[in-house]
Amino acid sequence: MILTNVLTIIIPVYNEKKTIQKIIDKVLKIKNLKKQIIIVDDGSTDGTTEVLKTIPKQKIYKIIYSKKNKGKGYAIRLAQPHVQGEFVIIQDADLEYNPNDIKKIIKVFKNKNNMVVYGSRVLNTNRYKKNNFISIIRVFANHMLTIISNIINNQNLTDAHTCYKAFNSKIFKKINLKENSFSFCPEITTKIAKLNIPITEIKISYKGRSVKEGKKISLKDAFIAIKTLIKYRFC
């Protein structure tokens, strides 16, 4: 069953005790938007699970608990069958992506031809709070990955690996997701390309974290992303 004019917000979370309550509060405060919130706790061990169990059940549609940490892609796959909204968006729990941008992203769907919307960090020239060596390396790696993704998938994206991805739920539920880790991003982008569905991008705000602050994705994931792009485009 698809609920018209309802947005399903999937929040995958792993070890985000310090931010999970804040992100939930920000999402709940979004006004004039019908929401179905699905949270997937991907085997957290830092107290995140205990925080989630204190949240009043009437505020959240569903909280899914995984006993083991299997990755972001796995968490999203657990949520996929429960999506009921007309549209669906992935909202990370780390506060790098601001929920205030959600309504801006959803407005793009007013044009019925837009089926997939990505929030681009690259279109925001003030996206990184720290101009240090590690940040520069990450910016460069993301840029190169996007170029490779565009070449392989014949697309023209500025930020293929953004975490802010929104879909018409008919498209999202149609895609057979298989990846468990951050490779969910190149997987779904490639599968959308194979369906010949264009992706619309809009500028979003972004506040990147350092490893000390809890950043989980690493440069090793870049090589996995390339492998994933090739795997789903040509196999």
pLDDT (tens, 9 = 90+) of the chain, 235 residues, equals 788 999 999 999 999 999 999 999 999 999 999 999 999 999 999 999 999 999 988 889 999 999 999 999 999 999 999 999 999 999 999 999 999 999 999 999 999 999 999 999 998 766 555 555 456 777 888 899 999 999 999 999 999 999 999 999 999 999 999 999 999 999 999 999 999 999 999 999 988 755 555 455 677 788 899 999 999 999 7
Query: Taking a C-beta distance cutoff of 8 angstroms, is the pair 99, 30 a contact?
Result: yes
pLDDT of residue 235: 79
Residue 150 is which amino acid? N
- Name the pTM for this structure: 0.92
Tokens of 82: 């429960």
pLDDT of residue 221: 81
Give the chain's domains with CATH numbers.
3-234 (3.90.550.10)
H or E stretch covering 46: none
pLDDT of residue 80: 98
* Residue 60 to residue 203: CA distance in whole angstroms: 28
Q: Is 133 exposed, middle or buried (0-12, 13-18, 19+ CB in 10 A)?
A: exposed
pLDDT of residue 212: 56
Query: Taking a C-beta distance cutoff of 8 angstroms, is the pair 202, 104 a contact?
Result: yes
pLDDT of residue 217: 65
